[in-house]
Amino acid sequence: MKKLSLLILSTCLFSTLNLSAKEDYSLKFDKDTRGVVRKMLVYKNPMWVSKIVTNDERELFFISPKSMLEFYYKPKNWPETKINNSSELKELIVTDYTTGEAIDAKYAFYVYGSNKISFAGDDLPAFKNIENAKNFSKANRGMRILSFKEISSGLIQLLNGDI
């Protein structure tokens, strides 16, 4: 009986998680699209591209998840965007490093410490599912797999060499 209850609870939990994540994200950009933080052309490395959609439907592109999170934690560092804090951000989207699919950054898994780097340097490749993150981590000497909630501003500063 205990096992059945646990199975039902687990199924309900996973169903709820899947329903809460929107499935049709887009990362459409052209050859002139530049990242907000590093001003580099995003099309040159599409497996790393990230995007933020603001509450007023503006799209801000980034060359990597790390760059997007750098902006997320300190948007005032880019006054040209006229964004003061993360409450003005509607969607955070990253590219699944394995499939190239646009996914919700808040439900992604990130690999810290791998030997793969983006144009922004040490970075956090993103994955839709934990199995792909584990496989990537093992193949590329990743040190840890993190959820969105586990990534702090301090970690982004560390990856950037600021601390």
- 60 falls within a domain: yes
Report residue 138 as tokens.
């093992």
Threshold 0.75, pTM exceeds: yes
- Looking at the structure of the chain, the number of domains it has is 1
Nearest to 103 by CA among 45, 35, 49: 49
Q: What is the pLDDT of residue 12?
A: 45
The residue segments making up the domain with residue 42 are 34-159
- 19 falls within a domain: no
- 18 falls within a domain: no
Task: Show the CA angle centred on residue 128, arms to residues 3 and 18, nearest 5°.
Answer: 50
Q: How do residues 26-41 score in pLDDT, each as one tens digit? A: 999 999 999 999 999 9
CA distance linking residue 1 with residue 6, whole number of Å: 9
- 28 falls within a domain: no
Q: Which residues are bridge partners to 127 per DSSP?
A: 109
Report residue 37 as tokens.
């933080």
CA distance linking residue 42 with residue 64, whole number of Å: 9
Within the chain, how many helices (H) and strands (E) appear?
4, 9
Asked if the model's pLDDT at residue 3 lies above 90, the reply is no
Q: What is the DSSP letter of 34?
A: B
Q: Which amino acid, residue 41?
A: L
Residue 91 near residue 65, CB atoms below 8 Å: no
- 153 falls within a domain: yes
Q: How do residues 55-89 score in pLDDT, each as one tens digit? A: 999 999 999 999 999 999 999 999 999 999 999 99
Nearest to 89 by CA among 138, 55, 65, 126: 55
